[in-house]
Amino acid sequence: MPALIVLSWTRAGLADRHLWLTRPDGTGRYKVTTIRNIFDIHPKFSPDGRRIAFIRGSEANAPNELWICNADGGECKQIVAAEGKSERLASPVWISDSAVCYVRDPVYNRQPDLEVWRAELDGAKPQKMFRFIEALGKRSGLLTDASARRPSTGRDRTDARQRAATYLHVI
Distance of CA 66 to the CA centre of its chain: 7
Distance CA 67, CA 44 (A): 11
Domain boundaries in the chain?
Answer: 5-140
Write down the pLDDT at residue 168: 54
Q: Give this prediction's pTM.
A: 0.78
Write down the pLDDT at residue 100: 95
CATH placement of domain 5-140: 2.120.10.30
H/E stretch holding 64 reads strand 64-70
Cβ-based burial of 47 (10 A; exposed 0-12, middle 13-18, buried ≥19): buried
Write 162-165 long-range contacts (CB < 8 A, 24+).
164/47, 164/94, 164/95, 165/47, 165/94, 165/95, 165/96, 165/97
Write down the pLDDT at residue 28: 83
Give me the sheet containing 39-45, strands edge to edge: 39-45, 51-57, 64-70, 77-81
pLDDT per position as a tens digit, 122-144: 989 999 998 888 887 887 777 77
Per-residue tens of pLDDT for the chain, all 171 residues: 457 777 776 655 556 677 888 888 888 888 888 888 888 888 999 988 899 999 998 876 778 999 999 988 889 999 999 888 888 898 999 999 999 999 998 877 777 788 999 999 998 999 999 888 888 788 777 777 765 443 344 444 444 334 333 445 555
| Side chain identity, residue 16 | D
Write down the pLDDT at residue 167: 46
